[in-house]
Structure 1
Amino acid sequence: MATIADHDSYIAAAPEAFRPVLDHLRNLLREALPDAEEMIAYNMPGFRIRGKVVASYAAFSKQVGLYFLAPAISAHAEEIAEAGLRASKTGVTFSPRKPVPDDLVIRLARASREHVDG
């Protein structure tokens, strides 16, 4: 895969069925993290505050990944499980047909943001 320059390029290069979900995630994360800078790291779009990546997302062959700082995931583990989603230490994976609820995305992003300041 070619190096991705920005969020628009990443979303445009994703499988067509994933594009609306990725675009929606980007907009939710922008809303939740208004002071964050959009960036690309490891060919994945993300949001950085004072040099620290606080949120990112990625499309895979069959699922989407949404990534935050580990304390944000652990603080919302019960909600993630109740939504029927799978979580790792730093992320949540889901099918484009069953996305993460908007309010949970926003809470996760804001919780991740809190850990930039310490």
Structure 2
Amino acid sequence: MDMATIPDHDSYIAAAPEAFRPVLNHLRDLLRGALPDAEEMMAYNMPGFRIRGTVVASYAAFSKQVGLYFLAPAISGHAEEIAETGLRASKTGVTFPPRKPVPDDLVTRLAQASSKYVDG
């Protein structure tokens, strides 16, 4: 399957390596719960969640790790906590191996923080 033409979250997760699918499904559920006002969409070939046109959260499977992305202020606002969990963070996201996922409560807090930076 060509990863460039994946239409939705279900197809993306189904196309991911088997070891990643439970983690991706769980992230999707956590993000959906944390972002009740968001719509699911695909952007940059990654499944994401959009509020009023702004992508506030997205996730992706790479060859050896999972990426979880939020608006930059949400990441910087939780930088210390992210570091304490031993995760690697960039300006807009965290990456982790599927066997060592981001704690659920941190995913929820990052998503909720990210959604607060949407104009509206």
Short-chain TM bin: over 0.9
| Distance in 2 (alpha carbons) for counterparts of 1:112 and 1:31 | 14
TM-score, with structure 1 as normaliser: 0.98
Question: What letter matches 1:55 in structure 2?
Answer: A
Q: CA deviation at 1:14?
A: 0.1
Describe the SS at the equivalent of 2:76. helix
Aligned residue in 1 for 2:28: 26
Aligned residue in 2 for 1:102: 104
**Candidates 37, 40, 48, aligned match of 2:39:** 37
Q: Identity percentage over the alignment? A: 86
Aligned residue in 2 for 1:60: 62
| Distance in 2 (alpha carbons) for counterparts of 1:28 and 1:4 | 21
Gaps of 5+ in 1: none
Describe the SS at the equivalent of 2:56. strand
1:86 aligns with 2:88: yes
Give every structure 1 segment of 4 or more consecutive aligned residues whose post-TM-superposition deviation is greater than 2 Å.
Answer: none
- Count of residue pairs brought into register by the alignment: 118
Gaps of 5+ in 2: none
